[in-house]
Chain A
Amino acid sequence: MFCGTGNNGGDGFVVAQLALLAGMEVQVLLHGNPDSIQGDALIAYQEMIAVGTTTNAFSESLITQADILVDALFGTGLDRPISGQLAEQIQWLNQTKKPVLALDLPSGLNADTGAILGQAIQATHTCTFITRKLGLHTFQGSDTAGKVHYSRLFLPLDIIQSQSPAALNHSLKHWMNKLPERLASQHKGVAGTVCLVGGNNSMMGAIQLAGLASLKVGAGLVKVITHAEHTVAITQSIPELMCYQPKELMTQANLSNVVGIGPGLGLDDWGKKLYQQILDVPLPKVVDADALKLLALNPQQQSNWVLTPHPGEAALLLNITTPEIQADRVQAIKTLQQKYGGVIVLKGNGSLIYDGEHMEICLAGNPGMAVGGMGDVLTGTIATFIAQGLSLWDATCLGVSLHAHAGDVLAQQKGQPGILPSELASVMSQLMSYRD
């Protein structure tokens, strides 16, 4: 037991006492002065001592002998970076690779932001109590917390519900149920017409992947506005995609339900011209990749769009650094929404979705999805659900959840390295069929 002198340490004293009573051999390594223990933690400390538990200072040999380590050093009250000798001790403890159970949250992790405060315990499991903490699931939280378990313990639900949540997580099934039923009499026009814009020189694959994803999640018609030199190659590769040259942009956009712009768009005059034209199209839009970089150069607000930045693009949009975005992703997405309007997806571990009112966190997904083309697939997916009549919010939450779950299916089937966006599009299609 690695215990501090606050209430998180108090949790540790309770566990230590009970473990001893259950016949386990328990060693308590106390960090801090026992005279500073107060309140309920002091009662637990005294009870623990009364049953015969002794406390020790940090000891490498005791840790080496342990089968399991329990982290009860700091809980949600930690407000300063861990440094100095304690940071070195935690670093050493992490290197032992012993199984570590963190009580409430790993010591050193910011429970709101998922940022490590100086140094953090590397837990294999975290049992969090009373409320679920966002920081366990976003940014560095997932790397630090291991497998997260939750118990509200004895607390009546009405007390927990007395505080409106900072974020929600709904199941994939919940979002899938938002999709309209496919009627036997349905024709392709009802299944949504998507117009995708991008695929500049040497980036044809990006718009192709967005188009593939659109088709795989059920779009009725997918129109691709791309470089004149790419139209033949794309059509040969995916004959279901209807390719047009940029001069057809306005005509084809006006025949569509939604526009997705950005995958492989580029930042040259070709890309800029298309981007400028699309801005004035009175249709819902999904804006990603290079289109976000162009937006960052000339910020504006629209209510009828979905922006899907990764942390680097989010940094450009807010004119700050990527580490600053990651240090507080919740605040970052709120600022993005305030500045640009619409629905924002802040991609990355624990992707966040925010529309100015609701916050959704995606708990699915894995590091194998960190590969070029994944964002393009997401663009095509969200655009398709909008084209099929879903609200921007529902379409975005469904798209993000489906995309992440498909990544997890592939990771389970073949491991994380080598997950291809094109494969993921096919798995999304399979997952959607389970709904039927």
Chain B
Amino acid sequence: MLRFHTVRQSQAIDQIAIKEKGIPGILLMTKEQACLLLNPYNITSITHNPS
């Protein structure tokens, strides 16, 4: 099952993430993930690994 949210709901989720979890409001990713992202014909999955 996939869930879809409105912009307002997304912004509310962002605020919870920023305020309660101290997560930045922009992307966190490794350079390997960035490389994966920049190969648009080979995007498989992007997972976050702050370390």
Residues on A facing B (Cβ under 8 Å): 7, 10-11, 13-15, 18-19, 21-22, 24, 39-41, 43-44, 68, 70, 76, 99-101, 103, 111-112, 124-125, 127, 129-134, 137, 149, 151, 153-156, 159-163, 165-171, 174, 361, 363
A133 touches B37 (CB 8 A): no
A44 touches B34 (CB 8 A): no
A131 touches B4 (CB 8 A): yes
The B10-50 residues at the A interface (CB cut-off 8 A) are 10-14, 16-17, 20-21, 23-35, 37-38, 40-41, 43, 45-48, 50
A68 touches B25 (CB 8 A): no
> In the complex, what's the smallest C-beta–C-beta distance from A358 to chain B, in angstroms?
12
B38 touches A24 (CB 8 A): yes
Complex CA–CA separation, A125 to B36 (angstroms): 13
Interface size on B, residues (CB 8 A): 40
> In the complex, what's the smallest C-beta–C-beta distance from B38 to chain A, in angstroms?
6
B38 touches A70 (CB 8 A): yes
Interchain pairs with CB closer than 8 A, number = 148
> In the complex, what's the smallest C-beta–C-beta distance from A329 to chain B, in angstroms?
13
Complex CA–CA separation, A262 to B45 (angstroms): 45
Can you give 13 A-B contacts (C-beta < 8 A)?
Answer: A10-B27, A18-B31, A19-B31, A22-B35, A40-B26, A76-B7, A130-B14, A131-B9, A131-B13, A132-B5, A163-B9, A166-B4, A168-B2
* Chain A hits for B25, CB < 8 A: 7, 10, 39-41
A165 touches B27 (CB 8 A): no
Complex CA–CA separation, A167 to B43 (angstroms): 25
* Contact A163/B4 with A11-B26, A18-B30 known, Cβ cut-off 8 Å: no
Main secondary structure of the interface of A (DSSP, over half): mixed
* Chain A hits for B37, CB < 8 A: 15, 101, 127
Residues on B facing A (Cβ under 8 Å): 1-7, 9-14, 16-17, 20-21, 23-35, 37-38, 40-41, 43, 45-48, 50
A149 touches B46 (CB 8 A): yes
B4 touches A165 (CB 8 A): yes
> In the complex, what's the smallest C-beta–C-beta distance from B35 to chain A, in angstroms?
5
Q: Kindly identify which residue among B4, B11, B32, B43 contacts A168, using a CB–CB cutoff of 8 Å.
A: B4
* Chain B hits for A100, CB < 8 A: 40
* Chain A hits for B6, CB < 8 A: 111-112, 134, 166
> In the complex, what's the smallest C-beta–C-beta distance from A12 to chain B, in angstroms?
9
B16 touches A159 (CB 8 A): yes
* Contact A159/B17 with A11-B27, A133-B10 known, Cβ cut-off 8 Å: yes
Q: A44 — nearest CB in chain B belongs to which residue?
A: B26
* Chain A hits for B47, CB < 8 A: 151, 153
B40 touches A124 (CB 8 A): yes
* Chain B hits for A7, CB < 8 A: 25-26
Complex CA–CA separation, A137 to B47 (angstroms): 22
Complex CA–CA separation, A174 to B3 (angstroms): 15
* Contact A133/B31 with A159-B13, A168-B2, A169-B2 known, Cβ cut-off 8 Å: no
Q: B48 — nearest CB in chain A belongs to which residue?
A: A154
> In the complex, what's the smallest C-beta–C-beta distance from A19 to chain B, in angstroms?
5
B29 touches A131 (CB 8 A): no
* Chain B hits for A160, CB < 8 A: 3, 5, 13
> In the complex, what's the smallest C-beta–C-beta distance from B45 to chain A, in angstroms?
7
> In the complex, what's the smallest C-beta–C-beta distance from B22 to chain A, in angstroms?
11
Q: Kindly identify which residue among A14, A15, A159 contacts B38, using a CB–CB cutoff of 8 Å.
A: A15
* Chain A hits for B33, CB < 8 A: 18
Q: Kindly identify which residue among A15, A41, A165, A171 contacts B5, using a CB–CB cutoff of 8 Å.
A: A165
> In the complex, what's the smallest C-beta–C-beta distance from A162 to chain B, in angstroms?
6
* Chain B hits for A19, CB < 8 A: 31, 34-35, 38
Complex CA–CA separation, A10 to B38 (angstroms): 16
